[in-house]
């Protein structure tokens, strides 16, 4: 007699479903004979998605089936190296840098702002290098969520995936609103609901056109943002040296008066999360690995570009802002000011120099930047939802992928969340969005911490199962030490955020109800993630993956494996070529 568990295991290991939906019937029995619908249909040999991931007891999670399905999704690999490189350099530069940095400057001062961005930049560099190593080795759908499921615990992978998906789903309508507000810089005659509709339709259209259109759109957006930031850095240096009509030579004037720091150490702790929010989205480059034509070549190059993004576009621009805009400027965003693009420190710096017209140019850049982030949010949320469904951690229809490689159901869900942008025109809209944003306030920190810890366990399993570190296609230059540094820094940031959430700045005469509300606005993401984790763990009774049981085979990138081991002829030839390189080329290859 056949063991039922073995029978179920065979079903789980199958990467195609036995269910054939209506749209995959023979042409003569279809309801929609028009060929215009063909692109929205799934390949008949692919099925509609993965099989159900429960055992004979109805609750047992099947990690082998999940790994098999996630390694064999039907996303199309057409993104090129240039798409990934620009996505890594400027893909998620948006309101976090262009607008929210103004609020951080007002709270902490230029000194705290620069230190916070330096620390977060260092942490993120370590994190992205770890993510790059795993993503090149396993270029599978879901990326960091899949790694958490495979290397840590399926319950934590479930919590991480949904945490990130919710973050993207919530931020998308916020960015649409930011784009609508951007238009008010020039004129308020356009109804807000009309501009929201236009931008929402544009973002949804790009998403429905497929991954190639997304890649080209982000490529163009990133070039625009990168060009604008480089131009601003050069202009800012000139303004600082030549001065403005009102102040003359500036130099370090604003670091002396009103000063480099505001609210002391608490002000510094307060802006750490703001700095982290500015870097959010950098991990998208690894999420795109599952749709990249040659991840072995393209992804390492893109991961190295993150160094330039951190140093050039964040650290230098923040340093210039701190030199040109005092933290007590009435135009900056503060607790009593509205959040508008007029309060962007980039625009304030240009206006203070008396340069007419250039502020409008920068505002156009901000407009495209926020639309780019909204576009990335649809991409990120739809891919995470589809990968969660492929692993049995989300409703099964979300795993549907059509012939053009689009997760249509997941895109539809992400697009539907964009309708929340219309809450902005309602009387209670601000309150609703405050709580929605609270769900995503710490999401990036949880994601980055998960990446670091996944890398630590991956390296341990890789060594224990007899693999050489030199056999990795791409190695993190900071190794597991960098992952430990990143993880410890994230824990410290969470502790600092807890402190300022319990005792925020200006909390002397605040009522208890306001204190409680402020705390949950700042820290709501923590209990939500823990509830996701505990609920899934109690239901499926999952355990932390044992190091010796971690699956290092399914979905692994096996390209040119023989070239990767030290001592092999291919490696020796490569080392001989590298020895002949001039020093500048060695440095260039290390960073680029």
The pLDDT tens digits of the residues spanning 434-471 come to: 777 777 778 889 999 999 999 999 999 999 998 888 88
pLDDT given for residue 568 in this prediction: 55
> What's phi and psi for 183, nearest 5 deg?
-65, -30
Return the higher-pLDDT residue of 228 and 524: 228
Q: DSSP 3-state helix, strand, coil percentages of the chain (rounded to 5)?
A: 70, 0, 30
pLDDT over 70 at 573, yes or no: no
pLDDT band at 419 (very low <50, low <70, confident <90, very high): very high
**Reported CATH class of domain 4-477+540-559:** mainly alpha
Return the higher-pLDDT residue of 35 and 286: 286
Measured over the CA atoms of residue 382, residue 388, residue 391 and residue 397, the dihedral's sign is negative
For CATH 1.20.1740, the residue range(s) in the chain are 4-477+540-559
Check if the beta carbon of residue 60 is closer than 8 Å to that of residue 8.
Answer: no
DSSP state letter for 420 = G
pLDDT given for residue 128 in this prediction: 92
Question: In sequence order, what are the beta bridge partners of 79?
Answer: 292
CB-based burial, 508-542: b 16+ in 10 Å, e otherwise: eeeeeeeeeebbeebbbbbebbeebbeebbeebeb
pLDDT over 90 at 86, yes or no: no
Return the higher-pLDDT residue of 559 and 271: 271
pLDDT over 60 at 201, yes or no: yes
Detail the DSSP E strand segments found in 194-324: none
> What's phi and psi for 292, nearest 5 deg?
-105, 135
DSSP state letter for 344 = -
DSSP 323-336: HHS-TT-TTS--TT
The answer for 87, left when phi > 0, alpha when psi is -120 to 50, beta otherwise, is alpha
- Of 125-129, 196-200, 354-358, 563-567, the one with minimum mean pLDDT is 563-567
pLDDT given for residue 572 in this prediction: 61
DSSP state letter for 124 = H
Instruction: Give residue-wise pLDDT tens across range 506-532.
Output: 765 567 777 777 787 778 888 889 999
Q: pLDDT averaged over the chain? A: 81
DSSP state letter for 50 = P
| CA–CA separation, 489 and 491 (whole Å) | 5
Q: What is the mean pLDDT of residues 103-119?
A: 91
Q: What percent of the chain has pLDDT over 70?
A: 82
Instruction: Give residue-wise pLDDT tens across range 133-183.
Output: 999 999 888 889 999 999 999 999 999 999 999 999 999 998 898 888 888
pLDDT given for residue 485 in this prediction: 96
The answer for 167, left when phi > 0, alpha when psi is -120 to 50, beta otherwise, is alpha
pLDDT given for residue 490 in this prediction: 94
Check if the beta carbon of residue 175 is closer than 8 Å to that of residue 94.
Answer: yes
| CA–CA separation, 305 and 127 (whole Å) | 14
Q: What is the mean pLDDT of residues 112-129?
A: 92
Nearest CA-CA partner of 244 in 105, 349, 98, 316: 349
pLDDT given for residue 14 in this prediction: 35
DSSP 23-87: GGS-GGG-S---GGGGGGSPPTTT-SSPPP---TTS----HHHHHHHHHT------B-HHHHHHH
Return the higher-pLDDT residue of 184 and 119: 119
Q: What is the mean pLDDT of residues 200-211?
A: 92
| CA–CA separation, 99 and 539 (whole Å) | 42
Packing angle, helices 429-440 and 525-540, rounded to 10: 60
Q: What is the mean pLDDT of residues 283-308?
A: 84
pLDDT over 80 at 590, yes or no: no
Detail the DSSP E strand segments found in 417-574: none
Check if the beta carbon of residue 105 is closer than 8 Å to that of residue 279.
Answer: no
pLDDT over 80 at 5, yes or no: no
Nearest CA-CA partner of 204 in 423, 433, 419: 419
Task: Return the SS3 of 259.
Answer: helix
pLDDT given for residue 115 in this prediction: 94
Instruction: Give residue-wise pLDDT tens across range 231-260.
Output: 999 999 999 898 877 777 888 889 998 988
Nearest CA-CA partner of 269 in 495, 20, 73, 423: 495
Instruction: Give residue-wise pLDDT tens across range 176-191.
Output: 988 888 888 887 788 8
pLDDT band at 103 (very low <50, low <70, confident <90, very high): confident
pLDDT over 50 at 559, yes or no: yes
pLDDT over 50 at 11, yes or no: no
pLDDT given for residue 571 in this prediction: 57
pLDDT band at 57 (very low <50, low <70, confident <90, very high): very low
Q: What is the mean pLDDT of residues 534-543?
A: 89
Q: What percent of the chain has pLDDT over 90?
A: 30
The pTM of this model reads 0.85
Check if the beta carbon of residue 340 is closer than 8 Å to that of residue 123.
Answer: no
H or E element, residue 176: helix 154-183
Q: Which distant-in-sequence residues (6+ apart) come within 8 Å of 206 by Cβ? A: 213, 214, 217, 375, 378
| CA–CA separation, 566 and 579 (whole Å) | 15
């Amino acid at each position: 007699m056949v063991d039922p568990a073995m029978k179920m295991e065979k079903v789980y290991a199958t990467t195609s479903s036995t269910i054939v939906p209506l749209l995959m019937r023979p042409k003569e029995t279809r309801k929609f004979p028009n060929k215009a619908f063909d692109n929205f249909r799934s390949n008949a040999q692919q099925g509609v998605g993965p099989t159900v991931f429960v055992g004979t007891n109805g609750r047992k999670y099947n990690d082998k089936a999940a790994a098999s399905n996630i390694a064999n999704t039907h996303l199309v690999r057409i993104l090129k190296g240039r798409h990934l490189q620009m996505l890594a350099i400027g893909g998620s530069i948006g309101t976090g840098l262009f607008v929210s940095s103004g609020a951080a400057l007002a709270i902490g001062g230029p000194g705290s702002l620069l230190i916070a961005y330096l620390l977060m930049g260092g942490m993120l560099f370590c994190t992205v290098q770890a993510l790059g190593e795993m993503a090149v080795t396993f270029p599978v759908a879901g990326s960091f969520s899949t790694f958490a499921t495979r290397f840590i615990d399926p319950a934590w992978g479930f919590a991480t995936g949904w945490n990130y998906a919710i973050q993207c789903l919530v931020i998308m309508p916020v960015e649409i609103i930011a784009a609508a507000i951007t238009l008010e810089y020039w004129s308020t005659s356009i109804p807000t609901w009309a501009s929201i509709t236009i931008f929402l339709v544009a973002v949804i259209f790009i998403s429905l056109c497929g991954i190639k259109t997304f890649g080209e759109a982000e490529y163009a957006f990133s070039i625009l943002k990168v060009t604008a930031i480089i131009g601003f850095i050069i202009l800012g240096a000139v303004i600082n040296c030549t001065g403005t009509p009102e102040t003359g030579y500036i130099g370090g004037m604003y670091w002396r008066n009103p000063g480099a720091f505001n609210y002391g150490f608490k002000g510094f702790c307060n802006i750490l999360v703001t700095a982290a929010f500015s870097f959010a989205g950098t991990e998208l480059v690894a999420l795109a690995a599952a749709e990249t034509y040659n991840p072995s070549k393209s992804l390492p190059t893109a991961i190295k570009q993150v160094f330039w993004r951190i140093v050039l576009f964040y650290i230098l621009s923040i340093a210039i802002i701190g030199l040109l805009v005092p933290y007590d400027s009435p135009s900056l965003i503060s607790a009593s000011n509205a959040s508008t693009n007029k309060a962007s420190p980039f625009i304030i710096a240009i206006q203070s120099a008396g340069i007419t017209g250039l502020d409008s140019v920068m505002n156009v850049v901000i407009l495209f930047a926020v639309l780019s982030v909204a576009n990335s949010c649809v991409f990120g949320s739809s891919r995470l939802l589809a990968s969660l469904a492929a692993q049995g951690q989300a409703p099964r229809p979300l795993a549907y992928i059509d012939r053009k490689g689009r997760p249509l159901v997941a895109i539809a869900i992400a697009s539907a969340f964009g309708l929340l942008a219309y809450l902005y025109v309602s009387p209670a809209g601000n309150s609703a969005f405050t709580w929605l944003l609270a769900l995503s306030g710490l999401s990036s920190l949880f994601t980055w911490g998960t990446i670091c810890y996944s890398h630590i366990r991956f390296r341990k399993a890789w060594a224990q199962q007899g693999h050489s570190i030199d056999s990795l296609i791409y190695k993190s230059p900071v190794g597991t030490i960098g992952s430990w540094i990143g993880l410890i820094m994230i824990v410290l940031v969470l502790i600092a955020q807890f402190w300022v959430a319990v005792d925020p700045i200006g909390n002397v005469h605040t009522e208890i109800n306001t204190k409680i509300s402020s705390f949950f606005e700042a820290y709501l993401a923590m209990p939500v993630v823990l509830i996701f984790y505990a609920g899934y763990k109690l239901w499926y009774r999952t355990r932390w993956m044992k190091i010796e049981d971690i699956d290092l085979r399914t979905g692994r990138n096996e390209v040119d494996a023989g070239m990767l081991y030290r001592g092999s002829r291919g490696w020796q030839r490569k080392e001989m070529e590298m020895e002949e390189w001039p020093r500048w080329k060695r440095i260039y290859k290390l960073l680029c």
